[in-house]
Amino acid sequence: MSSQALTARTLAAIADSQQGINAFLYIDREGAMNAAREADVRRRMGKPLSMFDGLTCAVKDNIDVAGMPTSNGLGYGDTAPLAREDAPVVARLRAAGVIILGKLNMHEVALGATNDNPHWGRCENPLRAGYTPGGSSGGSGAAVAAGLCAFALGTDTMGSVRIPASYCGVAGLKPGREGLTTAGVTRLCRQLDTVGPLARSARDLRELWPILNGTANNQVPPARRTDLGSVRWAVLEDCAGVGVEEGISEAFRDLAKRLPGAGHVPLNFSAIDFSAIRRAGLLLCEAEANVTFSAERQRQPQLFSEQLRGLMQWGAERSAPELVQASDKVQAAGDWLRQQLQNVDFLLTPTAPQTAFPFEQAVPVNQANLTSVANMAGLPAISIPLGDSAEGLPFGLQVIGAVGSEVALLAISVALQEWLAEHDLAVTA
């Protein structure tokens, strides 16, 4: 199929899905079709820019795309400022021939994990109407799961790529702190923020990674399939202690019991006070959001929901000692996690303690417990699909690697996903 035909079909699917899923905030139909025509010309000449030339991507609306609005999920309507240039991660995709379809729905300023946006409307989970796709990159997870793009970009501060990946049954990568540049991205918390891709599988993410991090021209071809039997695993032991739903716990325990490896080290998270570090991480986000958006909040308060204004005001009223103490708690949690990985290769946990839930349900307080610690440690982490609940909702497996291990993490995740399929372990819990 030509890129033009594929892109036209995708744009039609997006239009049909907007009333039900509402994944997109802005669609660049003309730009996408022009890029598709150019991709077809290159392919006819035998000069594609990359293996992704002519494929489609969509971008979370806190990441700049030249000529497109960056609303950060705020109530701009059609008055959002247009980005003057691409964020570097977007520029690298364009240089590889990737077609940028538009901007994706998100939780307001990325400060939340349901994607129940008061200005643009809820982004629905394509697998279950009335259920959250997760957040804050909910539009990214929903768009990939619904087949509205080949892959998407999101941001992850405490789990905002991996939680939507888990809830929507796709794969999502949070690189390490230095893994990808965050230039051209509206920051929520500099201590925790990352940019990350979502795709249908870990294999797609592995192929995409060299383009995103700018090493596509000097990558060695991937080696033969990674041997899981040589891996030293750390495995979360106390699923009940962190409130993981029983169906997810059962599937995770079955995986841990049958997974080959050079050793399985049980890891107990009881040393972590999740309530304290969760509050500390959120406080840093609230305080920094107040600084980032203070001018706009003064000039155009109507852009912000009452709830968001309250969160930002709370951050504004915190003292310097309180913010330092919060930063210290986050740093200590990260130090602890890095220490646990010193004598193993990878850590396995469920991605989230629960599956997607109805918008009307209160957000579980432990939603980001297992994901946020990787941000605090600055470590790369990925979510791949593990199984489905008895209600038919997907849940993910999180794999956390050491600093700078993105290539190895992606390779092991591809092998894991293939092993799960071969051993019929990606099953209903």
Q: How many domains does the chain have?
A: 3
pLDDT for residue 234? 98
Same structural domain for residues 160 and 26? Answer: yes
Same structural domain for residues 166 and 234? Answer: no
Query: Of the candidates 233, 89, 253, which has an alpha carbon nearest to the alpha carbon of residue 156?
Result: 89
Question: Final residue of a domain: which of 176, 200, 218?
Answer: 218
Query: Of the candidates 296, 248, 274, 266, which has an alpha carbon nearest to the alpha carbon of residue 109?
Result: 296
Same structural domain for residues 278 and 265? Answer: no
Measured CA to CA, the distance from residue 216 to residue 391 in angstroms comes to: 41
String of b and e for 299-319 (b: at least 16 CB within 10 Å)?
eeeebbbeebeebbeebeebe
Question: Final residue of a domain: which of 194, 218, 242?
Answer: 218
Residues identified as active-site:
60, 136, 160
The domain that holds 187 is classified in CATH as 3.90.1300.10
Same structural domain for residues 166 and 304? Answer: no
What number is the average pLDDT over the span 41-68?
A: 98
Average pLDDT of the chain?
Answer: 96
Task: Quick: pLDDT tens for 221-265.
Answer: 555 678 999 999 999 999 999 999 999 999 999 999 999 998 899
User: To the nearest whole percent, how much of the chain has pLDDT over 90?
Assistant: 94
Model confidence at 67, in pLDDT bands (50, 70, 90)?
Answer: very high
Task: Flag whether 427 is in a domain.
Answer: no
Task: Quick: pLDDT tens for 91-130.
Answer: 999 999 999 999 999 999 999 999 999 999 999 999 999 9
pLDDT for residue 230? 94
Same structural domain for residues 257 and 204? Answer: no
Task: Flag whether 334 is in a domain.
Answer: no
Task: Flag whether 223 is in a domain.
Answer: no
Same structural domain for residues 300 and 159? Answer: no
How many beta carbons lie within 10 A of that of residue 13, not counting itself? Answer: 14
Model confidence at 426, in pLDDT bands (50, 70, 90)?
Answer: low
Task: Flag whether 413 is in a domain.
Answer: yes
Same structural domain for residues 195 and 233? Answer: no
Same structural domain for residues 51 and 86? Answer: yes
Return left, alpha or beta for 378; rule: phi > 0 is left, psi -120 to 50 is alpha, else beta. Answer: left
- Its pTM stands at 0.96
The DSSP call for residue 110 is G
What number is the average pLDDT over the span 62-74?
A: 99
Residue range(s) defining the domain that contains residue 406: 228-269+343-422
Contacts of 165 (CB under 8 A, 6+ apart): 134, 141, 171, 172, 198, 351, 383, 384, 396
Cβ contact 350:236 at 8 Å: yes
**CA 139 → CA 58, 349, 427, distances in Å?**
9, 24, 26
Task: Flag whether 278 is in a domain.
Answer: yes
Lowest mean pLDDT among 56-65, 222-231, 267-276, 398-407: 222-231
pLDDT for residue 225? 75
What number is the average pLDDT over the span 332-348?
A: 97
What number is the average pLDDT over the span 317-321?
A: 98
Model confidence at 297, in pLDDT bands (50, 70, 90)?
Answer: very high
The DSSP call for residue 265 is E
Task: Flag whether 191 is in a domain.
Answer: yes
Same structural domain for residues 10 and 80? Answer: yes
Same structural domain for residues 284 and 150? Answer: no
Query: Of the candidates 405, 424, 417, 422, which has an alpha carbon nearest to the alpha carbon of residue 232?
Result: 405
What number is the average pLDDT over the span 264-291?
A: 96
Model confidence at 217, in pLDDT bands (50, 70, 90)?
Answer: confident
Cβ contact 174:410 at 8 Å: no
Task: Quick: pLDDT tens for 180-216.
Answer: 999 999 999 999 999 999 999 999 999 999 999 999 8
Task: Flag whether 315 is in a domain.
Answer: yes
Contacts of 290 (CB under 8 A, 6+ apart): 297, 312, 313, 315, 316
Same structural domain for residues 315 and 391? Answer: no
Q: Which two tokens stand for residue 17?
A: 């899905």
What number is the average pLDDT over the span 358-363?
A: 98
Measured CA to CA, the distance from residue 126 to residue 140 in angstroms comes to: 11
Task: Flag whether 260 is in a domain.
Answer: yes
What number is the average pLDDT over the span 172-177?
A: 98
pLDDT for residue 223? 52
pLDDT for residue 137? 99
Question: Final residue of a domain: which of 218, 240, 256?
Answer: 218
Same structural domain for residues 262 and 281? Answer: no
pLDDT for residue 86? 99
pLDDT of 266 strictly over 60: yes
pLDDT for residue 427? 46
pLDDT of 429 strictly over 50: no
pLDDT for residue 152? 99
What number is the average pLDDT over the span 387-415?
A: 98
pLDDT for residue 162? 99
**CA 325 → CA 289, 336, 417, distances in Å?**
18, 17, 40
pLDDT for residue 416? 97
